[in-house]
Structure 1
């Protein structure tokens, strides 16, 4: 029987993977978490830009640089999330949806749609006061005022 590696060893290995990329991008690594939450495993990497604000682009760039190497390290399915400790990734204004067209988000609606209020979606396009999302490969048009909250997801599903 294979023993589960203890989490601190895995965190140490993830840190070794992440550090060179963080340095190369002139960012600073704040923390790495590896934990189980609600039945799913998460690798959370927290970074800061010492010269100013951390951009969403920085986060997604670092994610794509490290995801394959972290996947080689962890056998089971997990979510990789890269953010700054204080990065508010909420989409507040219609302009935010235009700016982040194509991004994956978690979407919380005020009223149920097909018996659910929470979805993972991709922002497809903004049409007037409506936003077209891809949800489960289907296009769904939702009024901006129907959205309770939405956050950008930097996560890579390892299925």
Structure 2
């Protein structure tokens, strides 16, 4: 089982969603971003501590070598990676970058309309644009401050 599968299985088993995993170039720092969609206000420090304690034990048993484990919420500008993310955050403003340009353009800012049949629809000021899910390099929510 690879590291990502191990983390996803463990985090999901604890009742959280695995949002993202980052490793430093030499794999010495392991950052794990978790979420709990049904929890009002998102994950808190106690949630992160509980996941950290459990993952520390699992990684030791699986003989995964690292220096530091960091557990965090995804933040207001959370990354969107899974198809379910694009459905869940429909109606939110996103910043999106494509792998291969569409009409000479790689970066898009707009309101996410959702994902259907492998196509992400984004509402721009100039109208809607359809983007292939497989062509999305990075997508993040744009934080809203009142």
> TM-score scaled by structure 2?
0.47
> TM-score scaled by structure 1?
0.43
